[in-house]
A = this chain, B = another copy of it.
């Protein structure tokens, strides 16, 4: 694959891009054409389709992966594509990692691990609820697998939400095995669902920004509502199980000022809050050190999400 950053004037290319935007326009002479914005992980480039009705020009839309056949021109000192053919690419023809930030962990493997965790939940109602979300609702599964866990703070990449969910569930699993006070089925179910409404709070990649519902309602309340609605559709789901699960989700930020409308009243809600903090803060450090790998052992400045503390990686003397 040749990347956008490597294109030269006069070249003829045939590559797959992610389409970030498309719109119709009209030339001064009244002729219709199309403006297309294409990107890969090295940058983005504008393209023109001067003959939209040509047979090589298939239907496509924003956020499709498209295979483009084009010439590279120069317009006002900027490279531009003159597009001859365009068609939607099929899954498998491209690797999303070439277009968007993606989790370092394999998406399919993470999903398999998720299914295994679900299987370990023995309570029939919680198990049914988890399958309803993560197996039966295919649209949700797709959004969940592609969603980030945050805009920028941590896990801000495709698969980030699933990776974070598994990380939190892992800590919860450790805690429930070592502290018998915890109800494992409730805790694991809450861990898997705690951020599920981030699929609604953020718009899909490549935008990955707050949606209107995200701004006005937030993932905490929407997550509680999703759980409430799903439980009401499961035969015989006990009210008290539903309420306790919703409470864990509502309280999982642990403090009012972080947007939780209730503080943890159940030990599982508190454990979930701690597990969430463990995974997110360790990931913040991990990403920060990776982004500054050349500064090993140096101070990296004050970090907003780490109490405005000046941080640095551990120095290991020889």
Contact = CB atoms under 8 A, between A and B. Distances in A.
Interface string A301-318: 000001101111111110
Interface residues of A, number: 68
B221 A282 contact: no
Interface of A: 167, 170-171, 174-175, 178-183, 186, 212-213, 215-218, 220-221, 224-225, 228-229, 238, 240-241, 243-244, 246-247, 250, 255-268, 270-271, 274, 277-278, 281-282, 285-286, 289, 299, 306-307, 309-317
Given A216-B246, A261-B261, A264-B306, A285 B181 contact: yes
Contact of A311 (B175, B243, B259, B266): B266
A116 to B, nearest CB: 16
A285 B182 CA distance: 9
A271 B286 CA distance: 12
A215 B271 CA distance: 18
A219 B299 CA distance: 18
A306 B261 contact: no
